[in-house]
Amino acid sequence: MSELIHTCYRVADLDRSIAFYEKLGMEEIGRIPIRDEAINVFMGLPGDGPRLELTYNIGRDEPYEIGTGYGHIAITVADIDATLERLETVGIEPERPPYTVREGGSRLCFVRDPDDYRIELLEAAAG
């Protein structure tokens, strides 16, 4: 049986990216140096495993282009208003206030990480 184990993207400043994802509630789960070329840091929500791989390429000075194919990663939160209040205290603002995409749907909003990747915060349905 196959399973999707993680998503990877490249970051310009590893410490800044780790700090951002820690503010979203993730924790560093593992770190793997790749010779003297790169460092892979695995992040995940507590108890869930390494779901996000941040790759820092040593010596790269120019920023990465996100491209038109990347959309976002999504994280569920129990209370989107409380989450946004907490994130505001650490300098993370949503692109726009929470909204729904359909009648009766879950509330959601997007934030951006230090490399401009979008993260969807999706309020978990009650019950």
> What are the b/e assignments for 61-70, b being 16+ CB within 10 Å?
eeeeeeeeee
Residue 37 falls in the annotated catalytic set: no
The pairing of strands 73-77 and 7-10 is unpaired
How far is residue 51's CA from residue 40's CA, in Å, rounded to a whole number?
Answer: 12
Instruction: Please give the single-letter amino acid code of residue 12.
Output: A
Active site residues: 120
